[in-house]
Amino acid sequence: MKVDQFDFELPKKLIALRPAASRDGARLLVVKGENLSDQKVTDLSDYLNTGDLMVFNDTRVIPARLTGTRRSAKIEITLHMNMSGGIWKAFAKPAKKLKPTDVIQFDGKLEACVLEKGEAGEITLQFNHSDDKLRVALNEAGVMPLPPYIASQRPVDERDKQDYQTIYGKIDGAVAAPTAGLHFTEELLARLDEKGVKRAFVTLHVGAGTFLPVKVDDTD
């Protein structure tokens, strides 16, 4: 199947650059057979029944986008997979300025050594911290990895560290938010509880692949 069959026009004015004033005030499309209706996420409890089970992803997004320097060259890094301890797979831009053994300096005392280079801008980094110390350093030096359709229209700021997390996220590790979960509020969860809707959690760390474009013309 040709991927251009899925092309559609998306006006920039319809791309929300910030969440709704109340998260559950976002639009909800309800499909019943061939009937479509526009509702709000706050109405979700009206479409669920007692005993229904909702499964939530309790991952938390880390500030995975870092800006550093390799000597005088500016390098932008987006972490996307933790291999072990302080070793991460990442995308670098521009990757062509890096080679194995290069050291990238970030804000504060955070630095990383390039262990190897892969394809399409991917590199493997060894940080000078690991585990809890690395989490603290990333929170100080990193910013939230917003989707390109948002990041291309406004700068990332401190508010994003709150806005781009679900209210129930507990376990650090994602480099992109499980976006459907961003619309839930404590009030909405309480209404679902009152309705008798059950709740379960899984931990699925969303990777940077969610940001990557499809690079083939045909899916077959």
Summarize pLDDT for 68-109 with one digit per residue, the tens: 999 889 999 999 989 988 999 999 999 998 999 999 999 878
> Has residue 172 been placed in a domain?
yes
> Has residue 102 been placed in a domain?
yes
User: Is the same domain home to 55 and 86?
Assistant: no
- For residue 84, give the CATH number of its domain: 2.40.10.240
> Has residue 34 been placed in a domain?
no
Token pair recorded at residue 19: 């969440």
149 pLDDT band, cuts 50/70/90, is confident
User: Is the same domain home to 168 and 123?
Assistant: no
DSSP β-bridge partners for residue 171: 59
User: Is the same domain home to 84 and 119?
Assistant: yes
Q: In the listed set 142, 169, 188, which residue is the last one of a domain according to the structure?
A: 142
- Domain of 57, in residue numbers: 3-13+49-61+161-211
> Has residue 42 been placed in a domain?
no
What is the helix (H) or strand (E) element at residue 194, kind and residue range? helix 186-195
Phi and psi at 99, nearest 5°, equal -145, 160
User: Is the same domain home to 136 and 118?
Assistant: yes
Summarised one tens digit per residue, pLDDT across range 34-57 is: 999 999 999 999 999 999 999 999
> Has residue 130 been placed in a domain?
yes
> Has residue 123 been placed in a domain?
yes
Residue 189 or residue 107, greater confidence: 189
User: Is the same domain home to 87 and 116?
Assistant: yes
User: Is the same domain home to 187 and 120?
Assistant: no
- Alpha-carbon distance of 200 to 159, in angstroms, equals 28
User: Is the same domain home to 69 and 135?
Assistant: yes
pLDDT at 109: 86
Total of domains in the chain: 2
Across the chain, what does the average pLDDT equal? 92
User: Is the same domain home to 72 and 130?
Assistant: yes
User: Is the same domain home to 70 and 127?
Assistant: yes
User: Is the same domain home to 168 and 198?
Assistant: yes
> Has residue 129 been placed in a domain?
yes
User: Is the same domain home to 76 and 137?
Assistant: yes
CB-CB contact of 176 with 211 (8 Å): yes
User: Is the same domain home to 173 and 191?
Assistant: yes
